[in-house]
Amino acid sequence: TETLREYAGKRHRNIGVAVHNSFFMDGTNEQYLKILKEEFNTVVAENATKPYMMEPERGTFVFSRADKLAGFAEQNGMKMRGHCLVWHKQIPKWMNNDQLSQEELLSVLKEYITTVVGHLKGKVYAWDVVNEAIDENEPDHYRKSVWMKVIGPGYIDSAFVWAHQADPDALLFYNDYGAEAMNAKSDAVYELVKGMKDRGIPIDGVGLQCHFQVGKIDFDGLKKNMQRLEDLGLQTQITELDISIDTGKENAQTLKQQADAYGKLARIWLEDQNCTAFMIWGLSDQYSWIPSFSNNKRGTPLLWDENFNKKPAYYQVLNQL
């Protein structure tokens, strides 16, 4: 039978999945690996290439996990996305320190980006350079991360410039959640990336995370937002798609609703050549981050169930391809 990967390959489109922490440990699950290789042509680490993993102690870089995924991708003819260079979460304690001077934190950031992007040069085709920097509720719309507090808004431009210097061929993305459709947050993201384009900063696109809930997706707003980003000369990518169902409400009907939503999103992606990746945030419901993130209020958001059986949502994506 044909797989997502085979169909997407025929159309020259990138379809991918976030790779779970267990991949980086011993005793790899064969079934998991088989699905990964057969169904997807792109991978991203769910956690393993975040700063807390990559530079746990200042000046001590750990490349083994990134190298393992990059090797797997290369062996299997897959592309790799890099996630993520600059974020306010999952950074080591020593880095998340607003007592550092501006000069010091700038040099920490430059060293981090230069080292990590340089090490993976030619292996990671697209980087999420800055993740979740917008907080639309702040008067200036910048989240008050350690980067913002110590360096100021210029950290964003600098991060992209350094990433570009380290790998001029990598595509560079700004990535965020809740900014998929037309709303105050996506307006703020739009203003940010428009300013970057105006200043000549090397940004190639905007990642739309797409952590969605069944019944609450604004498909038309998403398309509009994608269009205005395209009009700025930016690509879009669906970077972290999952569509969760309220706990206790998983039944044939909600699974069908979920499948329809996945199908619609796949259509939006396929009909838009400027939307250059369709990345799902995990493979099996068993390992999804959503239950723990939502205090068990939501779950079952992915294409395979806990036992690696294909769900209706899988077939609905396949049907679009």
Does residue 145 bind ligand XIL (CB under 6 A)?
no
Task: Mark whether 39 is an active-site residue.
Answer: no
Nearer to ligand XIL by Cβ, of 44 and 150: the residue is 44
User: Cβ of residue 172: shortest distance to ligand XIL, in angstroms?
Assistant: 16
Task: Mark whether 103 is an active-site residue.
Answer: no
Q: Are 55 and 93 in contact (CB under 8 A)?
A: no
Which residue has the closest beta carbon to ligand XIL?
A: 289
x-or-dash pattern for ligand XIL, window 167-196, by CB under 6 A?
Answer: ----------x-------------------
What residues between 229 and 248 interact with ligand XIL by CB under 6 A?
240
Q: Which of 230, 240, 250, 271 is catalytic?
A: 240
Q: Which residues pair with 134 in a beta bridge?
A: 142
What residues between 199 and 218 interact with ligand XIL by CB under 6 A?
209
Does residue 284 bind ligand XIL (CB under 6 A)?
no
- What does DSSP assign to residue 188? H
User: Cβ of residue 240: shortest distance to ligand XIL, in angstroms?
Assistant: 6
Q: What is the 3-state secondary structure (H, E, C) of 139-161?
A: CCCECCCHHHHHCCCHHHHHHHH
Does residue 47 bind ligand XIL (CB under 6 A)?
yes
User: Cβ of residue 90: shortest distance to ligand XIL, in angstroms?
Assistant: 6
DSSP reduced 3-state for 305: coil
Integer Cα distance of 168 and 159 in angstroms: 13
Nearer to ligand XIL by Cβ, of 41 and 288: the residue is 288
Nearer to ligand XIL by Cβ, of 180 and 240: the residue is 240
DSSP class per residue in 198-225 = HTT----EEEE--EEETT---HHHHHHH
Helix (H) or strand (E) segment spanning residue 16: strand 15-19
DSSP class per residue in 51-115 = HHHH-SBTTB---HHHHHHHHHHHHTT-EEEEEEEE-SSS--TTTS-TTS-HHHHHHHHHHHHHH
Does residue 257 bind ligand XIL (CB under 6 A)?
no
Least Cα distance to 193 among 218, 143, 145, 228 occurs for 228
Integer Cα distance of 184 and 179 in angstroms: 8
Q: Which of 132, 138, 180, 271 is catalytic?
A: 132
Does residue 289 bind ligand XIL (CB under 6 A)?
yes
Among 49, 131, 235, 276, binds ligand XIL (CB under 6 A): 131
User: Cβ of residue 208: shortest distance to ligand XIL, in angstroms?
Assistant: 11
Task: Tell me the catalytic residues.
Answer: 132, 240
Chain contacts with ligand XIL (rule: CB under 6 A): 46-47, 131, 177, 209, 240, 289
